[in-house]
Structure formats: structure tokens, C-alpha cells
Amino acid sequence: MWYLTQRLVAFVGLLLLLPVFAFLWMLVKATSEGPFLYSQTRPGLHGVPIRIWKIRTMVPGSDKNLQNARCVLNNNPNVTYVGRILRILKLDELPQLWNIVIGQMAFVGPRPIAFSLHQELCMMIPGFEKRTGVRPGLSNIGQVSIEENASGDQLIHDWRERFEAETHYLRNRSIGYDCVVILLTVLYLLRKAWRLRGKRPRTKIASQHPEYLLHQSRTA
């Protein structure tokens, strides 16, 4: 019944978000070339491949770079200007409500990741394959606990922490746990939106200007 309820809520959410999708479609299409939606096959329940949907945030063809399957930071040159904002606010994940509607995902569960990254982490992190024992989720406790993704040498360490949180969820999952994570996700996104709203271009102080440094060297 809980999964059926989630599917119903996701369906209603998609209908209510149609004006938002229309606005985002115009924004994405007006600022970059390429399709509005992006899809990728990822491991779902019991590792069965599912096609997840996202609003495109990168230039077309970026998925051919295997490094982008491991981790994409917001300063990645392939991420569009609008895409950076969508990724910060997680709005690019909204089309995955459709994956919930058709029963492939849930609101809470391990995030679906690229097959190549999944296979790498299964070799590096003991028991990592257990995360496919439940439906992948739109959000989870690890996602709202870790502020930013890590890359490079820190990637494995970052995923060890995320998997630790996911393991706690797998052992203790319940309707109440799901509701707590959903509430934390809402608060997480509101905090992200507030920080984005408060960001302003940084201005250099006088001592950082080249003209000031040149003047100081001449008078020294």
C-alpha cells in the first residue's frame, strides 16, 4: 500500500508540476542546444536495468566521457549555466517522478547510479551490491547528509560514507523512516535555495587588484 501511495502521489505531483516543466523546457531550450530530457540506463531493483529520466544539464555528448559517469561537479565545463542551477536545486531529478509512477523507483531509497560506477564501487566497497535489494529512490539519508559530491581520490571515501547511511536505511526502513527522509529532503532543498539566493559575485579587495600590487612594488 505504501508503494501504491507513492505512485499515486508521484502521478499527482507530475500533473501539478506541468507548468514548472513547461517553464524549465523553455529555459533549457533557449539557453543551450539539445533535447530537454536526458535518459540513461541504470541498475534498479535486484540490478534489473531501468531507464531513468532527468532534465538535461550538460551539453549533448557529455555522457560519452566515462569520467562524467563517476562524478560531475558543478564547475565541470560541460555543465550549462542553467544546468548548474538545476543541479544545485535538484530540479533536474523531477522527471524521475515518472519512474516512481511506473513502479521502478520510490521516493526514498539508494540513488540509481551509472552501471560503470556501480560495478567499480561493488569491487571497492564490500557489500555494495546489497543496495539494489530495494527500489532506488529519488532521495535518501546519505544525499541529504553530505553537502557536495566528492571526486578524484576522494570518490571512494565519499561513497563509503553514503553506503554507510544507505545500509542503516536498508536495516531500518519503514514508512516512518521514509517520511523523515522526505522531510529532511525538503529542508535540504530549502537551504540550498536560500544559499543560492544569497550568493553574490565576489568583489576583490583593494590589495588584490593588480594595479594596487604594482603600486606597492614601485613604492617598496
Q: Residue 86's closest CA among 95, 111, 100, 184? A: 95
Return the minimum-mean-pLDDT range out of 34-38, 112-116, 131-135, 195-199.
Answer: 195-199
Q: Report the predicted TM-score, pTM, of the whole model to 2 decimal places.
A: 0.83
Q: How confident is the model at residue 207 (pLDDT cuts 50, 70, 90)?
A: very low
Which helix (DSSP H) or strand (DSSP E) does residue 20 occupy?
Answer: helix 18-31
CA distance 152 to 156: 8
Name the phi and psi angles at 52, rounded to 5.
-95, 155
Percent of the chain with pLDDT over 90: 55
Q: Which residue did the predictor score with more confidence, 137 or 66? A: 137
Per-residue pLDDT tens digits for 43-91:
999 999 999 999 999 888 777 766 666 667 667 778 888 988 998 888 9
pLDDT, residue 151, reads 62
